[in-house]
Amino acid sequence: MFKLIQNFIIDLLFPICCLGCQQENKTKEYLCEKCFKKLVFCKRSYHFQLDFLDNIAIAGDYEDKILNQLITTLKFNAIKPIGNILAKFLCLFWQGRAILYPQKFIVIPIPLSETRERYRGFNQAEVIALYFANYFQYELNLQLKKIKNTKAQAELSEEKRLNNVKGIFQWKGENLSGKSIIIIDDVITTGSTINEAAKTLKLAGAKSIIALAIAKG
C-alpha cells in the first residue's frame, strides 16, 4: 500500500513527458505513439572502413531531433527505459532487411568498460541488444569485454582514433567458428570502435559480422 502511495506521489510531482512533444504521457513512456511514428529511417549513404565487417547498417539519422533527444537522454541522463524505445525502432528497421539474411545470428552489444558501466548503471547497447535479440529470437551473447578505458573518439584525429581503440576488446566466450554475428551499438561515429570489436570476433572464429546502430554520430 505504501509503495502505491509513493508511486502516486512521484507520478504527481514528476510526471513523465514525451521527449518529442513535451506533453505528459499517461502511458508513462518517454515517447508517445504519435512522436514515435515521426521517426524515419536513415536515407543517407555512409562510407566506413570495413576491414573486419561484412556490412554496416544505420537505422536513423542523428540529426533527427527526436532521435537525438532519445539517444542523448539515454546515455547522459541514464534513463534506461528509453533503450527499449530505441530498440523498437531498430527492430522495425531490421525487419525490412532480415529477409535478406535467413541465417540465425548471435547478437553482441559493444561493451562498456567496467568503470563506465558502473557509473551509468547499465550499458545502453546491451539494453538495445537484449530487446532486439528477443524480438527476432536471436541468441544474445555478452562475452565480448572492453578491457581498456578510452578517450571519446570524436575528440581525436583519424590516426589517434585507430590507436585509441587498438586492443581494447577481449573475447571470453567459446569459439565462434562458422557463426554469423550482429554487433549492436547506439551510435557509430567513425566506425573504428566497432571495426576493432569485429576484429576481435573474427580472431575468435566468426564467419560474418554485421554492425547495426541506431544512428551515425
Asked if 187 contacts 174 with a C-beta cutoff of 8 angstroms, the reply is: no
User: Is 72 exposed, middle or buried (CB count within 10 Å of its CB: 0-12, 13-18, 19+)?
Assistant: middle
Cβ neighbours of residue 82 closer than 8 Å, sequence gap 6 or more: 19, 30, 31, 70, 73, 74
The enclosing domain of 96 has a CATH number of 3.40.50.2020
What is the DSSP secondary structure assignment for residue 214, as one 8-state letter? E
Does 137 lie in the same domain as 180? yes
Higher pLDDT, 100 or 204: 204
Q: What is the mean pLDDT of residues 146-161?
A: 64
Helix, strand, coil abundance in the chain, percent, nearest 5? 40, 20, 40
On whether both 105 and 192 belong to a single domain, the answer is yes
Domain count, the chain: 2
pLDDT in tens, 58-85: 999 999 999 999 999 999 999 999 999 9
Q: Identify the DSSP state of 24.
A: B
Q: Provide the pLDDT for residue 7.
A: 36
Same domain, 7 and 34: yes
pLDDT band at 154 (very low <50, low <70, confident <90, very high): low
Q: Give residue 19's domain range.
A: 1-38
- Bigger pLDDT: 160 vs 8: 160
Whether residue 217 is predicted with pLDDT greater than 60 in this model: the reply is yes
